[in-house]
């Protein structure tokens, strides 16, 4: 079936040609991108080139080692542009977002003093909850920011939770389960007004819209590459003044300043090369979008990346709307998260739903048999799923990114309707 863009301003057909897996997958539809997105050709080439040409340790006097140093420097610059960091030395590379959350939580746990309260949310991935709960053993008091009946966080509910004893507010930008967005700028205003810091989990949000740590006014932000078209690796952005005051683990001869103080040991340099390539791919998208729409020339990489992620967000709102239009009207299907079309910009195209009378696992298996890849369970957000009253099997999650199409959404609906008819003939 030919893939036709629903938004003439976004070059989805050209984008899809950059992802070789899409060309070789046959009829299979990738709607499980939140568990790992596909990678464009230039990422595959960058990883292979590193392993073939410079699979050596950094810091040596010979050419290949110096090339690794240069690659890491370029990658820091790329990620710094992607998140709008003040400088590349605010970017650290490592295993994944969870490992960075743990490292930073242990450091923050050693600096509690009279500010012993840490606010966590029910909306979050468990990685951004359990790491902070563990600090209770060293005297932290965890304060819960609860979701309401609509499954969302409301900033007005946060205001009475923060005060002079608040050390940190930790929350996600977008729900890993439902795709609902959080007003993180409002979170920062409340937290900073009482002298607290803000820690953001950007893993689920990263492929869907612009990240701007200066605009968000956060203090720490972590991300993993596997959702944003890169290999499995992680990066952390930390406000220089904040991270350099924390007591992080490192060998005594390693500089006690960012980024060195967060990069204990050797990490996968080839994955960092892939992350650099993924961001350069997004730059390509930005340049292509600018050419199509006669945008003024970008004055810097950051402008190009912002344009790319803005256009991606606009296109994905089309996908979100079509998802809701196609699925919401099916009798027996319940959708969780933002469903109001007037609030479509408050979600990403991640659809969490359940089907009456059919276990979530059976729905996911039935869709898999029809060449649609989705996921079922608690999506590493068991507290949110319990809050929604879905402890028995969780939800089904379809998670889309900008290489997905409205034609695929229509096929998804047909597969779901066919599955439901098979399970409940005559209904």
Q: What is the pLDDT of residues 330-355, one digit of tens each?
A: 999 999 999 999 999 999 999 999 99
Give the residue-averaged pLDDT of 302-311. 96
N- to C-terminal Cα distance for the chain? 29
Q: For 246-290, what is each residue's pLDDT tens digit?
A: 999 888 888 999 999 999 889 999 999 999 999 999 999 999 998
Q: How far apart are CA 399 and CA 390, in angstroms?
A: 19
Q: What is the pLDDT of residue 132?
A: 98
CB within 8 Å of 9: residues ≥ 6 apart: 289, 292, 293, 311, 314, 315
Q: What is the dihedral of CA 108, 111, 116, 117, to 10 degrees?
A: -30
Average pLDDT over the chain reads: 94
Query: Using 50, 70 and 90 to split pLDDT, how confident is the model at 293?
Result: low
What is the secondary structure of 131-165 as a DSSP string? HHHGGGGGT-EEEEE---TTS---HHHHGGG-STT
CA dist., res. 172 & res. 98, Å (int) = 13
Strands 117-121 and 166-172, sheet pairing = parallel
Say if residues 75 and 273 touch (Cβ distance below 8 Å): yes
Q: Which two tokens stand for residue 130?
A: 């359990």
Cβ atoms of 72 and 58 within 8 Å: the answer is yes
Q: Residue 292's pLDDT is what?
A: 62
Instruction: Give yes or no for residue 368 having a pLDDT over 80.
Output: yes
Closest CA to 396 of 346, 337, 355, 349: 355
| Nearest Cα residue to 393 out of 416, 413, 375, 374 | 375
Over its C-alpha atoms, the chain yields an Rg (Å, rounded) of: 22
Model's pTM, two decimal places? Answer: 0.95
Q: Looking at domain 12-38+307-423, which CATH architecture does it have?
A: Alpha-Beta Complex (3.90)
pLDDT, residue 24, reads: 96
pLDDT at 198 over 80: yes
Q: Tell me, what's the pLDDT at 295?
A: 52
pLDDT in tens, 46-71: 999 999 999 999 999 999 999 999 99
**Percentage above 90 pLDDT, the chain:** 91
User: What is the structure's pLDDT at 264?
Assistant: 84
44-277: what fold?
Answer: 3.40.640
- Give mean pLDDT, residues 297-315: 90
Of the ranges 56-65, 254-263, 365-374, 401-410, which one carries the lowest mean pLDDT score? Answer: 254-263
Q: Identify the pLDDT of residue 425.
A: 65
Domain boundary assignment for the chain: 12-38+307-423, 44-277
Query: So what's the pLDDT on residue 8?
Result: 60
> Which tens digits make up the pLDDT trace of 22-53?
999 999 999 999 999 999 999 999 999 999 99
Classify 77 as helix, strand or coil: helix
Q: Model confidence at 392, in pLDDT bands (50, 70, 90)?
A: confident
pLDDT at 250: 85
């Amino acid at each position: 079936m030919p893939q036709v863009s629903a938004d003439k301003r976004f070059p989805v057909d050209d984008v899809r040609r950059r992802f070789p897996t899409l060309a070789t997958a046959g009829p299979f539809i990738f709607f499980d991108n939140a568990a790992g997105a596909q990678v464009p050709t230039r990422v595959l080439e960058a990883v292979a080139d590193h392993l073939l040409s410079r699979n050596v340790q950094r810091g040596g006097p010979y050419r290949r080692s110096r090339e690794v140093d240069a690659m890491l420097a370029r990658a820091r610059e790329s990620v710094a542009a992607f998140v709008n960091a003040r400088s590349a030395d605010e970017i650290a590379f490592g295993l994944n977002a969870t490992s960075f959350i743990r490292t930073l939580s242990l450091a923050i746990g050693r600096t509690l003093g009279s500010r012993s309260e840490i606010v966590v949310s029910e909306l979050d991935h468990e990685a951004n909850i359990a790491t902070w709960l563990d600090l209770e053993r060293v005297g932290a008091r965890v304060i819960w920011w609860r979701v309401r009946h609509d499954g969302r966080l409301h900033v007005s509910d946060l205001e009475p939770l923060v005060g002079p004893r608040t050390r940190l507010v930790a929350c996600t930008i977008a729900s890993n389960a439902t795709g609902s967005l959080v007003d993180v700028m409002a979170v920062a205003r409340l937290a900073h007004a009482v002298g607290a810091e803000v820690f953001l989990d950007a893993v689920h949000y990263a492929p869907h819209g612009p990240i701007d740590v200066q605009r968000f006014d956060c203090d720490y932000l972590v991300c993993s590459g596997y959702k944003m078209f890169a290999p499995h690796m992680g990066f952390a952005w930390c406000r220089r003044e904040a991270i350099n005051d924390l007591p992080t683990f490192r060998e005594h001869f390693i500089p006690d300043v960012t980024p060195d103080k967060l990069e204990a040991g050797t990490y996968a340099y080839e994955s960092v090369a892939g992350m650099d390539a993924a961001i350069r791919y997004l730059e390509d998208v930005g340049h292509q979008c600018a050419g199509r729409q006669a945008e003024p020339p970008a004055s810097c990489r950051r402008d190009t990346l912002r344009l790319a992620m803005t256009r991606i967000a606009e296109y994905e709102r089309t996908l979100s709307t079509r998802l809701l239009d196609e699925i919401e009207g099916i009798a027996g299907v319940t959708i969780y998260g933002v469903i109001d079309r007037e609030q479509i910009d408050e979600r990403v195209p991640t659809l969490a739903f359940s089907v009456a009378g059919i276990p979530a696992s059976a729905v996911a298996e039935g869709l898999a048999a029809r060449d649609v890849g989705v996921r079922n369970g608690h999506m590493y957000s068991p507290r949110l799923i319990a809050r929604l009253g879905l402890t028995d099997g969780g939800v089904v999650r379809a998670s889309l990114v900008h290489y997905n199409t409205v034609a695929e959404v229509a096929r998804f609906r047909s597969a779901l309707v066919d599955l439901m008819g098979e399970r409940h003939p005559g209904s």
